[in-house]
């Protein structure tokens, strides 16, 4: 296969899946890992994609910061109205005295604030320090902060957590992800935190994804699961109709919140 043919193959796979992994390209094109590395470098230099650890993503999926890590502070201040509407709708799925799981994302932080505002007695399991601080404003809540190694950028904990989670059970888990893609599935940008999210999924009766419309059609580095592996996705009214239909075609329940209502 000539170089130009490989380039087009990579771009076609990128368009189809939203992310390509170097190891998969080696198998797909039957070339060496060094050839794949050079191909990805060439495509990045020509502005066709952005290299990430272990593969590449489309330029259109990267942040305005040239594909660099998007800080927690930046994410916490973006799409605030949309996240508030999503959290308000999602809180309607919760009942007093339930065990609720919250991961570390910016939308989960908004959800934590909504739980404090609307409920008196909950047990909340989280790996997010900022979530735990917000939830502690409600003295009646039982807060279980999953232990592990501190990620200073995310204010989250990961890695050393398996034994603790194996002994727990969640009525409902709310997940805040970096990408929702109809073929790739749910993805996130932190490998350590993704391990926590995956295990929390295993102990939850119901799994609900909270994602504003800017996250759709994107794929980040770490795959969490397929869309059909969760029970429900809640997003805002900014989602275009074509993407809405593609997500629904996967079989997952998609609730679109428009002006604070479904």
Domains, the chain: 3-61 (1.10.10.10), 72-257 (3.40.50.1360)
Q: Are 9 and 24 in contact (CB under 8 A)?
A: no
Query: Could you tell me where the DSSP H helices lie in 173-224?
Result: 191-202
Which residues, given as ranges, of the chain have pLDDT below 50?
Answer: 62-69, 75-77, 260, 262
pLDDT of residue 104: 85
From residue 102, give the alpha-carbon distance in Å to each of 46, 218, 231, 247, 254: 40, 22, 15, 23, 19
pLDDT of residue 69: 47
pLDDT of residue 51: 83
pLDDT per residue as tens digits for the range 101-133: 999 888 999 999 999 999 999 999 998 989 999
Verdict on whether the full-model pTM lies above 0.95: no
pLDDT of residue 148: 67
Q: Are 101 and 142 in contact (CB under 8 A)?
A: no
pLDDT per residue as tens digits for the range 150-188: 666 666 655 556 677 888 999 999 999 989 999 889 998
Rg (CA), the chain: 19
């Amino acid at each position: 296969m000539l170089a130009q043919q490989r380039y087009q193959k990579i771009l076609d796979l990128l368009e189809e899946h939203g992310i390509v992994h170097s190891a998969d390209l080696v198998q797909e094109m039957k070339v060496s890992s060094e050839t794949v590395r050079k191909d990805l470098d060439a495509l990045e230099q020509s502005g066709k994609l952005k290299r990430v650890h272990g593969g590449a993503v489309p330029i259109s999926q990267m942040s305005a910061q040239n594909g660099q890590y998007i800080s927690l502070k930046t994410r916490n201040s973006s799409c605030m109205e949309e996240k508030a509407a999503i959290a308000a709708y999602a809180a309607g799925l919760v009942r007093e005295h339930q065990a609720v799981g919250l991961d570390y994302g910016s939308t989960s932080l908004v959800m934590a604030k909504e739980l404090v505002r609307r409920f008196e007695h909950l047990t909340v399991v989280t790996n997010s320090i900022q979530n735990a601080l917000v939830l502690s404003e409600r003295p009646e809540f039982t807060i279980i902060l999953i232990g592990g190694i501190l990620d200073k950028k995310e204010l989250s904990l990961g890695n050393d957590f398996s034994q603790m989670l194996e002994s727990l059970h969640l009525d409902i888990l709310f997940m805040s992800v970096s990408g929702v893609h109809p073929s790739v599935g749910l993805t996130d940008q932190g490998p350590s935190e993704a391990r926590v999210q995956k295990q929390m999924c295993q102990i939850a009766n119901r799994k609900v994804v909270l994602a504003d419309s800017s996250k759709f059609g994107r794929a980040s580095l770490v795959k969490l699961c397929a869309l059909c592996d969760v029970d429900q996705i809640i997003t805002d009214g900014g989602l275009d109709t074509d993407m809405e239909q593609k997500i629904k075609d996967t079989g997952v329940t998609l609730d679109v919140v428009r002006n604070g209502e479904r």
